[in-house]
A and B are shown apart, each in its own frame.
Chain A
């Protein structure tokens, strides 16, 4: 019976480390010989002087490792009563017994007892009851075990795998917490164990330094460590990992502490879109990938304490947002500068936030137009200060100026998606700042290559376009009518303006009812803005240029107001 991923995070972490130490290329290829090789390596590492702390100031076995396996064979004081050799003998014996049970399980065709971890039927004789000294995050109290059993029964293979989990564990760097990536992939999981587990331990032994878990992330927070690991993996093993990153495999980072004084465990699923994003960014530009990691995920030492703490908070916030697949562009705008680089943000918006490439290209074009505009400073200032509900008004001004068309406005801020205003504002500012920075340092702005057609407008937008065209064709005194619509402060004033058009025959009753639906004040304001956009575009000569557009308070929706806060 071959080995396979189980779905139990700690056992899978152990299987990954076992695979890495065994020399086998796939879990299903692991044989008894591979088990022997892996066990020898585990024994060599954990029984080394550097692990036991012999002749050194710190003991990994009695220190950090005891947090994972409290009171294990390497910690138990009675074993230490005979000195290091007593401990070594005790551990070797226990490991030998586990190995024998594992081999038995591996050779057995089909047993008579179901292992609750791997789900395989294994011979009952090979089962072993584990408690917290051998199985992380078990409790000393037996309340949670079925029927008050004295521990958890595992088959020999799962029990052996648990011993190896040490080589898959990493340190977060905060509050003594440890973590590992639960990623059932022969390539990714084994690579992590190989590089950051076995490789790291071997380097410490060679340098005669006390063993410890790898944790040199120079970042902040749990999410920061996860993302730095993913970046490092991609950089070091790009070729092997490319397929995995492209296809996306379910990956969960488990952060835990097995401390007696207060245990803790948290599972943080890593969205597959994050893997897509990192992969795409790396392929597009290694420099942009480096800049993203450096400016958004790294906390450099050597700054003064206050600055360092501030930077750590910033990095932790950004990393948390990334791991939750939330927009990050707004949070990356610091002192009129975009941190992380535009290429990375553009890729993130596309891969993680699902922004259409044509809309991205349009945002780029609009942002650059804003930066180049003769009244650019004023418009940018307005955008910087604008709460989300006023963003549409700023863009409407751009339509009036001829920078955007009505359809483009509708593509950027669809009438039925009021929540997109905030992100549109942030992206526009990001493009503006990046464009200005590029100009300052003499770089060219990295624009999207290719011609992008904006998505076809929906029925509502097409109807507004048609109403605007009818109005331009048939309205008497268009200029005054448009001015009245622009300066309306109450919904009643909008309605009165439409009624004038209805009376003169420039608008049908059906269109009137569509534009000011009964009982829906917010919709009336939204539709007015898009109607104005098409009026600006189609009847440019009739558009008053000296009148400020008024956004009535009645038009604010709760949802947008909340976002603006």
Chain B
């Protein structure tokens, strides 16, 4: 049981989490990768937060719709590693985004203050996806073996164990600070879509949580909990 946790709800008009598999085609993932959450924590605290600074975290993201935006870019050309990057031409690219995202973050109690007064602007994706903290409340997470989930990232083995519909993606769990920004670890996740429809949220029932699931007693939300050891070493 994790008493004294906080549940932070962030809302925004838009969000975009670029699927890393398609570099030039900006499809958005339905759920942000862990690396994006660490970016959010870094913005709130005002310095680069690495996984060893967070004992555990859990989250889910729901959204109202997907939409496609067109944006102008100034293409940068670089023929090879030795070539200097230079602007080439103006072009139009498509960018997928999520509408009205709601991110529920469950964190240890010490994260209450950074999110009450974030050091930098919070965003759900890129700089235009401005987010706001709409509520911060107490949470009490208890382990559960089964439960309905939506808008979450599940480790691939949990997805396989339960045979649920998911989109598999290899995603970074965190990045090292600038200038290298190398992934700390990359692993395969199953994304459970959290689109809100007129009939409400559609849940996927996980019958065998394999020790991953927790339920917030206050809100009833079931989410996978990522422990620090797993984020760092996959154990």
Q: CB within 8 Å of B: which residues of A? A: 5-10, 114-119, 129, 132, 137-152, 182, 184, 247-250, 252, 263-267, 269-273, 419, 559
Query: With a CB–CB cut-off of 8 A, which chain B residues contact A182?
Result: 168
Q: Is B88 an interface residue (CB 8 A)?
A: yes
Find out whether the CB atom of B186 lies under 8 angstroms from the CB atom of A9: no
Q: Is B73 an interface residue (CB 8 A)?
A: yes
Apart from A7-B169, A141-B88, A182-B168, list 16 A-B contacts with CB within 8 A.
Answer: A7-B171, A8-B170, A117-B186, A132-B24, A138-B23, A138-B24, A141-B75, A141-B77, A141-B91, A142-B78, A143-B75, A148-B85, A149-B78, A184-B188, A252-B168, A265-B22
Query: With a CB–CB cut-off of 8 A, which chain B residues contact A5?
Result: 168, 188
Q: A144-B23, A150-B80, A267-B27 known; A184 and B168 CB under 8 Å? A: yes
Find out whether the CB atom of A148 lies under 8 angstroms from the CB atom of B165: no
Using CB atoms, name the residue of chain B closest to A142. B78
Find out whether the CB atom of A148 lies under 8 angstroms from the CB atom of B76: yes
Q: Is B120 an interface residue (CB 8 A)?
A: no
Q: How far is the CA of A265 from the CA of B24 in the complex (A)?
A: 10
Q: Is B190 an interface residue (CB 8 A)?
A: yes
Using CB atoms, name the residue of chain A closest to B234. A119
Find out whether the CB atom of A265 lies under 8 angstroms from the CB atom of B163: no
Q: A10-B21, A265-B22, A419-B199 known; A250 and B166 CB under 8 Å? A: yes
Task: Identify the interface centre among A137, A273, A559: most chain B CB within 10 Å of its CB.
Answer: A137
Q: How far is the CA of A252 from the CA of B27 in the complex (A)?
A: 14
Find out whether the CB atom of A269 lies under 8 angstroms from the CB atom of B76: no
Find out whether the CB atom of B165 lies under 8 angstroms from the CB atom of A272: yes
Q: Is B67 an interface residue (CB 8 A)?
A: no
Query: With a CB–CB cut-off of 8 A, which chain B residues contact A252?
Result: 167-168
Using CB atoms, name the residue of chain B closest to A185. B160
Q: How far is the CA of A119 from the CA of B199 in the complex (A)?
A: 38
Find out whether the CB atom of B73 lies under 8 angstroms from the CB atom of A137: no
Query: With a CB–CB cut-off of 8 A, which chain B residues contact A8?
Result: 21, 169-170
Q: Is B52 an interface residue (CB 8 A)?
A: no
Q: List 25 A-B contacts (CB under 8 A).
A: A7-B171, A7-B189, A8-B169, A114-B186, A115-B186, A116-B186, A117-B170, A118-B186, A137-B22, A137-B23, A140-B75, A140-B77, A141-B77, A142-B76, A143-B73, A143-B76, A145-B23, A184-B168, A184-B188, A248-B165, A250-B160, A263-B24, A267-B27, A269-B166, A273-B165
Q: How far is the CA of A121 from the CA of B9 in the complex (A)?
A: 36
CB within 8 Å of A: which of B145-188? 156, 159-160, 163-172, 179, 181-183, 185-188
